[in-house]
Amino acid sequence: MHKLLPTLALLISLSAQAEPRATGDLGLVIEREDGAALIINTTGHKQLAKIEGLGDLSHASVVFSRDQRYAYVFGRDGGLSKIDLLQDQLARRIVQAGNSIGGAISQDGKLIAVSNYEPGGVKVFAADTLELVADIPAEYAPGKRSKVVGLVDAPGQRFVFSLFDAGEIWMLDMRDPHKPAIEKFKNIGKQPYDALMSPEGRFYIAGLFGESGLALLDLWDTAAGVRRILPNYGKDDEKLPVYKMPHLEGWAMAGDWLFAPAIGKHEVLVINKQDWTLHKAIPVAGQPVFVMARPDARQVWVNFAMPDNNQLQVIDAKDLTISTTLTPGKVVLHMEFTPRGEQVWVALRDDNQLVVYDTANLHEITRLPAHHPNGIFFSARAHKIGF
């Protein structure tokens, strides 16, 4: 009995030191230079762990399992990494392609889809094991494959994505994983470069780099095909250098409006969601990259490409005007709102910091260290369509 006491005391001590962890309070911050991700507690404003060995994270994105325990990280080198947010460890990692640009998780949380530049196409994996379920080559002509961009999840176990080289939108139905079904929409415009899904999962909108306008697909009426919107915006304007492509999953749906970054221009476009016409172009400090709405849709936050990437601007969604300009630090790369929007986290790459703002009074709450932080992703994304 006396021999058991030290062991029992040790177990009790370890148990007392173990801190219960709620998955809904967690997030990931990408440290792309290190090929690593920080697991963070969003309420406590603290780092819990650093997960290394994630490969090339120069264009990394993240989705979460529906129970919010696992994060799936899509690397530019084709790596697909599954991180256990409770055990602070890399559960599994595979390299599934040569050049990857993002991914999505299915409605039921059982499938992970990855969009690839090389070889062009989409691969679908089992979320639990990362075993390959389906391989969908983006072949648009004999022997020709397209880069795949703008991959998002959609209701009904579907994924929607765009073919950059082909000017097409494809919808992949995975209700029967053994018999994937594809619906193709051709001639949607030149060089779709990214896309968004509206929050309710009805509208898929692809931005076009090769010509003016956007391509809109109504998933409630796919028989109507793809509709072009804003076909004449900027058509006759001088083409300016684009220092960083806008990221369309950062577009904002707020009230009656869609807020979208204008390619190469110092403007945020306000589009009427009722008839998809341009309502207003708001002048901003630089070329917008992310245009993101606070969850209550009252504020829209904008960051910029170089040389204006030390700034953030806040648009009042009621008045459609700039309400505030902030200069948080060097190279603002990404923003993420807490689930109900009372705070926003901002990545400052060249300051090696994260800064957290109170969105009500725009006061700085705290700063946290991070090595060249890039993307910020909170586990609340698990319950959002198109993320």
Instruction: Give the integer Cα–Cα distance in Å for 343 and 138.
Output: 40
pLDDT at residue 93 in the model: 98
Give the mean model confidence (pLDDT) for residues 335-362. 97
Domain range annotation of the chain: 96-244
* Contact status, residue 127 vs residue 114, Cβ threshold 8 Å: no
Say which range, 22-26, 48-52, 86-90, 319-323, has the weakest mean pLDDT.
22-26
Higher pLDDT, 386 or 246: 386
Which range among 9-23, 163-177, 197-211, 259-273 shows the weakest confidence by mean pLDDT? 9-23
Residue 3: pLDDT over 70: no
Tell me what pLDDT residue 42 has: 96
Q: Under DSSP, is residue 17 helix (H, G, I), strand (E, B) or coil?
A: helix
Q: What is the pLDDT of residue 311?
A: 98
Supply the Cα-derived Rg of the chain in whole angstroms. 21
Q: How many CA atoms lie within 13 A of 348 on its CB side?
A: 19
> On the CB side of 148, how many CA atoms lie within 13 Å of its CA?
34
Token code pair at residue 215: 């391509």
Cα within 13 Å of Cα(35), Cβ side: 13
Cα dihedral sign, 292-293-294-299: positive
pLDDT at 19: 73
CB distance 299 to 315 below 8 Å: yes
State residue 319's pLDDT score. 95
Q: Which pLDDT band, with edges at 50, 70 and 90, does 343 fall under?
A: very high
Percent of the chain scoring above 70 in pLDDT: 91
Beta strands 267-272 and 257-261: pairing type? Answer: antiparallel
Say what the pTM is.
Answer: 0.93
Assign a CATH topology to domain 96-244.
Answer: Methylamine Dehydrogenase; Chain H (2.130.10)
44: number of Cβ within 10 Å: 10
- Residue range 179-192, pLDDT digits in tens: 999 999 999 999 99
Write down the mean pLDDT value for the chain: 92
pLDDT at 250: 62
**In this predicted model, what pLDDT tens digit does every residue of 302-328 receive, in sequence order?**
999 999 999 999 999 999 999 999 999
pLDDT value of position 10: 42
Q: Please choose, from the candidates 320, 357, 364, the residue with its C-alpha nearest in 3D space to the C-alpha of residue 342.
A: 357
What is residue 232's predicted lDDT score, i.e. its pLDDT? 84
Tens-digit pLDDT profile for residues 107-160: 999 999 999 999 999 999 999 999 999 999 999 999 999 999 999 999 999 999
Write down the pLDDT at residue 255.
80
Report the candidate in 258, 169, 250, 262 with the shortest Cα–Cα distance to residue 209: 262
Work out the number of other CB atoms within 10 angstroms of the CB of residue 192. Answer: 28
Which residues, 6 or more positions from 129, have their beta carbon under 8 angstroms from its beta carbon?
92
Tokens in use for 42? 């969003």
User: For the chain, first and last CA: distance in Å?
Assistant: 55
Whether residue 364 has pLDDT greater than 80: yes
